[in-house]
Structure 1
Amino acid sequence: MGQKGAETRVRILDAAQELIEAGGYFSAGLNQVIAASGAPRGSLYFHFPDGKDQIVGESIRRAGQEIGTAVEDLAASSASVAEFVEGVLRHLGDRLEESGWRKGCPVATVALEMAAVSDPLQQTCAEVYTSWTNALRTRLAGRQDADDLAVTILALIEGALLLSKAHRSRESLDRVSGQVATLLR
């Protein structure tokens, strides 16, 4: 694939990712992706022969990797686990607020919409969540309850993002940050 083809593919994924994060699986119809990306219809089918689910799956993986990279960076630069989780919540809160309360978790909406009807998308969502849980578990290494805490913290983060998006307020994220600090003592 040449540079122009690669750029078109990236534009399609960028557009799909924006649509998915803002409104989930059903807001990222092929016509919407084409319009948002400016790509010709034929390019969409050339780069994504398996159609919409392939585009959505790759978009979720990309978004998951972006969040995962931010989480890894915060893990490396934080002095304590509580500071690390506080940094993750702050990062996600900034992202949510800067997007006009549209970009919460890039996986949650698709997971809720599609987990029961699409095995490939369910597996993709599960893979992203597993990678985030593993990043948390790694930062909690040495604690006897690291596995349970990693899942608990991720669940608290996901819930706080949902509530913050619904209320258009960072209050839930701030409260969860305080409770995680208490939980980790």
Structure 2
Amino acid sequence: MLTLHIKNMVCNRCVMVVRQELERQGLHPQKISLGEVVLEENELSDAQQDKLDAALVSHGFERIDDRKARLIETVKNKIIQQIHHTNKVDLKLNWSTYLAEEMHYEYNYLSNLFSSVEGITLEQYIIRQKIERVKELLFYDELSLSEIADKLGYSSVAHLSAQFKKITGFTPSEMKKSREIERNRKPLDSV
């Protein structure tokens, strides 16, 4: 079996597109998760790799070869999974412990590597992802601000609102009223 790491694969639709492309290429995916594909094949020829790389790029994805780049992409996917794809972010979730345990690396190493490559801290990235999730939940208008704060593990609505305003320049209520939210949402891979 061969494991591939794929950049910008951040949602279930991405998984579906990558699966379809792999099958179109005659490859046999055994398991596909955010940022990672396990193939039945043991190796790919240079021609297969080139063809696959071109197809992935045409869909906005990229195969990652570099170990450190794969590590950063996996960290991002773990964060996205927790914030965007779980029912509720645990209020007591200690991100440094969670990431260190999930990744099997010291948190300081992960944090320093992430900052040096991405130009922002892991904490800033987590906050930005949470704010994007808040925008999404505000857009769908199904939950109150209090329910959103609870769902995303904020200690209070005031804490959520302060972070939201710092990142977007609007309070959640202002953004919701102005419908600025429609122009302000970002794809997860560009956060």
Q: Give the number of the structure whose residues are more often strand, by fraction.
A: 2
TM class by shorter chain equals 0.3 to 0.5
Higher relative contact order (CA 8 A, sep 6+): 1
Instruction: Select the structure of larger CA radius of gyration.
Output: 2
